[in-house]
Structure 1
Amino acid sequence: MTITAAADGSALGNPGPAGWAWYVDDGCWRAGGWPHGTNNQGELMAVLDLFRATAHVPEEDLRILCDSQYVINSITKWMPGWKRKGWRKADGKPVLNVELLKELDRELAGRKYTFEWVKGHAGHDLNEAADERARAAATAYQQGVAARSGPGFAGAPTAAAVAPTPSTAINAAGATTAGTVTGGGLATYDEPDLFSELEGDSFAATESTRAEPAPEAIVEELERELLGPDVRGDVGRTGVLLHPDFMEIGSSGRVWTRDAMMMALEEDPGERTELEVLGADRLGTNGVLLTYRSYSRSGTTLRSSLWVLDGGRWRLRFHQGTPEA
């Protein structure tokens, strides 16, 4: 028998009130969350809790439907290399979300599982059900009311349902996979989130009091962040910044997909690039086209980036660069 379940996470503000959920059917699902967290943290926790909730039936195959390529790639592609390097990336820096990833690694042992990527918000019944419950949990924490936790998995020990309370928000992003999980507690951790280094007091203010920056200003700041080697070499952050359907036509004419770009940047994040904004044009309510000139040792390049609003956050959907004569 194969257990098929969707796992999803949600964060209102990212970081902000956060939720997670996994869903098999209306009689078999669980959800939870925290007052402050990130979408990626919720994605990881949904998968972790699913493994814990099914630890009492290790002989059953798990088929996990997930719209987070970061989660899938972290477990099936990147984790072995991170472990060999002492949970450090190719540039020697610590892996983000390391405590959650270590816990997942422990839970995978001995389990039979496969991950299947599904496009989020595309009408997939199980994914939509998990997303709805994760968002409801996040909304409950935002409103200060009790969140519905769900019936859980039949026969699961109570301990498997316990989720950690994070000390702060954490980032991540992702691709496709296979895995396993068991019970156990998670240590709290304290790592920077995507927005923690953005300039301006408005980002440090509380959700209820801060003034929302204009989309053009947000997009310009995120583009500048993406041009920094520290961010480019961090698959967690690039996974948050790049849209799942991201594509780039490079100056050499090569076409890059999201996964190929994330892997290439982790291995060689390059030098810091400065930019001169030429234009920031709003495309409806959910798009901004940013054009700029970048400066590096190799010369100047004219670039255009299309940012779209996806699930409440701005993500880079398309990029193209042309060396300037």
Structure 2
Amino acid sequence: MTITAAADGSALGNPGPAGWAWYVDETCWRAGGWPHGTNNQGELMAVLDLFRSTAHLPEEPLRILCDSQYVINCITKWMPGWKRKGWRKADGKAVLNVELLKDIDAAIVGRKYSFEWVKGHAGHDLNEAADVRARAVATAYQNKTTVPSGPGFSGATTADPANVDTATTGPTADEPTSTAAEEVPAADQKVTARSNDLLQDDLFSSLEDNPFAPESAKPQDIVVAQERELLDPAVRADIGRTGLLLHKNFEEIGASGRLWSRDAMITSLEAEAPGQMSFELLSAELLNPTTVLVTYRTQSRDQGRTVAALRSSIWLQEAEQWRLRFHQGTVEA
């Protein structure tokens, strides 16, 4: 029988007091955390502990609900390439959170599992239950009160998360923890990045791992693939991925005439209601070796009517990665 569980992480201050949790039902959940960690570390640890807590049931398929595209992509797309490169990315930089990732890599051997992305804070019962418990742990560390740990999985032999040695299972002294973001109001303590300085590219895979782009593609093909990716609702809701795709000096002139900054656009995309847009490529022109101009038409549904828009984007290549520098959209008459 398939085990379905949600896994989530939380950090207050990011980095700061951090918690993680996985949740199956009221009788089967587990949580833990650290006095100092990041949201991504919490997300990864929740998944790791779920695999460990179900290790005594190796034949049971595991269905993991997760609102972090970063975690899903790390495990399902990027880890094999990182391992081949000695746990380094294409640019030679070390992969962050590598100890947690190595532990996950070991824990998934021989397991049947699948990941399903769910939108955070959207009323999904299991995701909300995991989020509440992860946030409760972070709050407990912040207030120096008892850390809730949960009943765990029946038959599991994992250690009490309140007594786990964080030197081996959590953030280490030499592990950078700059995932992160400014603290948000108590009503929504799950912290996400909001600032150019805090959205660190090192947290994410290089764009050569982009599943939308074919291998050995021309610059125009890579850029068009990434433009399509930015229209995907799951990507638009993932600030980690949009933070990587948008240039640090990104600007957009919207159909209303509003000038959007990178931070404002990332925040807006994360909060918008899911919706798919069609994509009709008009042209993709290499202006020079590091600049591509893309023009295309989109169609979407808005309050029951079809809205068509003409769009243009300028992509720049920096450090072997293409990022969107400027975008403009105009509603088509």
Residue aligning to 1:223:
196
Runs of 4+ in 1 over 3 A off after TM superposition: 158-167, 185-188, 231-234, 250-256, 258-266, 273-277, 288-291
Q: Work out whether residues 11 and 42 of structure 1, in 8 Å CA contact, stay in contact via their aligned partners in 2.
A: yes
Displacement of 1:192 after TM fit?
Answer: 1.8
Shift in Å at residue 164 of structure 1? 4.8
2:90 maps to which residue?
90
Cα deviation digits, residues 253-280 of structure 1 (max 9, x gap): 94542489988998xx99xx88699xxx
1:119 counterpart residue number: 119
Provide the secondary structure at the position in 2 that maps to 1:52.
Answer: helix
1:36: Cα distance to partner?
1.0
Shift in CA distance, 148/305, structure 1 to aligned 2, threshold 3 Å: closer
Cα displacement (A) at 1:223 = 2.8
Match of residue 299 from structure 1: none
Instruction: Measure the CA separation in 1 of the matches of 2:268 and 2:17.
Output: 19
Aligned residue number for residue 189 of structure 2: none
Change (3 A) 1:153 1:79: same
Equivalent pairs, count: 243
Indicate the residue corresponding to 1:99 in structure 2: 99
Q: Is the 8 A contact 2:37 2:177 kept in 1?
A: no
SS of the aligned residue for 1:75 comes to helix
Matched, 1:147 2:120: no
What is the Cα deviation at residue 159 of structure 1? Answer: 3.2
Say which of 316, 321, 324 aligns to 2:326: 321
Cα contact 2:239–2:266 (8 A) shared by 1:
no
- CA change 1:236–1:41 in 2 (3 A) is farther
**Residues 158 and 15 (structure 1 numbering): CA distance in 2 closer, same or farther, change over 3 Å?**
same
Structure 1 pair 289–10 and aligned structure 2 pair: CA distance change class (3 A): farther
CA spacing shift, 1:42–1:236, aligned 2, 3 Å: farther
Q: Distance in 2 between matches of 1:225 and 1:12?
A: 14
Q: Deviations over 1:55-79 (max 9, x none)?
A: 1111111111111111111001000
| Counterpart-to-counterpart distance in 2, 1:161 and 1:133 | 13
Aligned-residue offset at 1:165: 4.9
Q: Aligned pair in 2 of structure 1 residues 237, 29: CA closer, same or farther (>3 Å)?
A: farther
2:10 aligned partner: 10
The separation in 2 between residues aligned to 1:187 and 1:163, in whole angstroms, is: 12
Distance in 2 of aligned mates of 1:106 and 1:13: 30
Decide whether aligned partners of structure 1 residues 131 and 237 sit closer, same or farther in structure 2, where only a CA change above 3 A counts. farther
Partner of 1:300: none
Could you tell me which amino acid in structure 2 is paired with residue 156 of structure 1?
A
Structure 2 distance, partners of 1:264, 1:121, is: 18
* Displacement of 1:10: 0.4
Shift in alpha-carbon separation, 1:188–1:138, aligned structure 2, 3 A: closer
2: CA distance between counterparts of 1:166 and 1:86? 24
AA in 1 matched with 2:204 = V
> What TM-score comes out, normalization by structure 2 length?
0.61
Gap runs ≥5 in structure 1: 168-184, 208-217, 239-249, 278-287, 292-302, 312-318
| Cα-to-partner distance string for 1:187-213 (whole Å, 9 max, x where unaligned) | 7622222279x9xxxx9xxx9xxxxxx
CA displacement at 1:7 relative to structure 2: 0.4
- Distance of aligned partners of 1:262 and 1:128 in 2 relative to their CA distance in 1, 3 Å threshold: closer
Whether the 8 Å contact between 1:43 and 1:68 is mirrored in structure 2 is: yes
Deviation at 1:232, TM superposition (A): 3.8
The letter for the 1-side match of 2:177 is D
- AA matched with 2:100: L
TM-score by length of 1: 0.62
Percent identity between the aligned chains? 59
- Indicate the SS of the match to 1:43: helix
Partner of residue 306, structure 1: 265
Q: Find the structure with the greater CA-based Rg.
A: 2
> Judging changes above 3 Å, is the alpha-carbon distance between structure 1 residues 320 and 24 closer, same or farther for their aligned structure 2 residues?
same
Q: Distance in 2 between matches of 1:276 and 1:69?
A: 22
The residue type paired with residue 186 of structure 1 is T
Does the aligned pair in 2 maintain the 1:289–1:307 contact within 8 Å?
no
In 2: Cα distance, 1:276 partner to 1:87 partner: 30
Structure-2 residue corresponding to 1:42: 42
Identify if the C-alpha distance between structure 1 residues 26 and 322 changes in structure 2 by more than 3 Å, giving closer, same or farther: closer
Is contact 1:66–1:127 with CA below 8 Å preserved after alignment? yes
Shift of 1:236: 6.5
